[in-house]
Amino acid sequence: MSRKRAAILISGRGSNMTALIEAAKADEYPAEIALVVSNRPDASGLKRAREAGVATVVVDHVPFGEDRAAFERALDAKLQEYRIDLVCLAGFMRLLTPWFVGRWSGRMLNIHPALLPQFKGLHTHRRALEAGVKWHGATVHFVVPEMDAGPIVAQESVAVHENDTEAMLAARVLEIEHRIYPRALRALAEGKIGLTAADSKKEAG
Ligand code: GRF
């Protein structure tokens, strides 16, 4: 079986990206990381990707201003150029339009640092501490037009400790993220999971 060509989209340090690159080094891993794309030229993950020998491109969103569609067309063109089959969002801090999500429907995953459907959006660790939950965690899900709402592919939890700070909790959740994302990409690349037509139509709220 030929390996699927995966792209990882980042905006920052790319620790999940690194976990995926490491996992994909194994001969029997069903995907290769063919490209890393950042929307920020200064993302530190870019250097890490290059050091790992992975092709990188920057599609800076700033020159596109409010024109999200034009930004996404440029992004999509890069993914086509590198003959990408699957996309992993890993700390990619841009909301995607239904057009882009539709094009990659069933072929695009995201990792979210919370036990979805709890704590969609930003600052998940702070909000978990404020809410007083005893369990927190991370989720990999298919991307659908509605943010952080796609079907769940992988999820693991960690106990919240009495004296946890946001940083302490984030660090424990990150360990989980690095474990479940490679597992989820494997399942997708092996064709073991997919989206139904009904799933992929879930609209942006
Ligand atoms: C992770 O916590 C991820 O779940 C969230 O953004 C963070 C990115 O971290 N979406 P990194 O760039 O992968 O280190």
Using most ligand atoms within 8 A of CB, pick from 18, 37, 110, 111 the residue to mutate for ligand 1.
111
User: Which pLDDT does position 197 carry in this prediction?
Assistant: 79
Smallest CA-to-CA distance from 88 within 173, 205, 4, 159 is with 4
Judge contact between 146 and 121, C-beta under 8 A: no
**Pocket-forming residues, ligand 1, beta carbon under 6 Å:** 10, 12-17, 45, 90-91, 111-113, 177
Using most ligand atoms within 8 A of CB, pick from 11, 13, 15, 172 the residue to mutate for ligand 1.
15
* In the block, residue with structure tokens 């597992």: 183
Ligand 1: atom nearest CA of 11 is 12
User: Which pLDDT does position 1 carry in this prediction?
Assistant: 67
Ligand 1: atom nearest CA of 173 is 2
For the chain, 205 residues long, give each residue's pLDDT as a single digit of tens: 699 999 999 999 999 999 999 999 999 999 999 999 999 999 999 999 999 999 999 999 999 999 999 999 999 999 999 999 999 999 999 999 999 999 999 999 999 999 999 999 999 999 999 999 999 999 999 999 999 999 999 999 999 999 999 999 999 999 999 999 999 999 999 999 999 877 877 665 4
User: Which pLDDT does position 205 carry in this prediction?
Assistant: 46
Using most ligand atoms within 8 A of CB, pick from 10, 11, 16, 185 the residue to mutate for ligand 1.
16
Q: Ligand 1 centre from 13 Cα, in Å?
A: 8
Q: Which of 112, 125, 141, 178 is catalytic?
A: 112
Is 136 part of the annotated catalytic residue set? no
Strand, coil or helix: 72 = helix
**Domains in the chain and their CATH numbers?**
4-200 (3.40.50.170)
Judge contact between 87 and 94, C-beta under 8 A: no
- Atom 10 of ligand 1, residue of closest alpha carbon: 91
Tell me how far CA of residue 98 lies from CA of 12, 95, 101, 106, 149, in angstroms. 24, 10, 5, 13, 13
User: Which pLDDT does position 203 carry in this prediction?
Assistant: 62
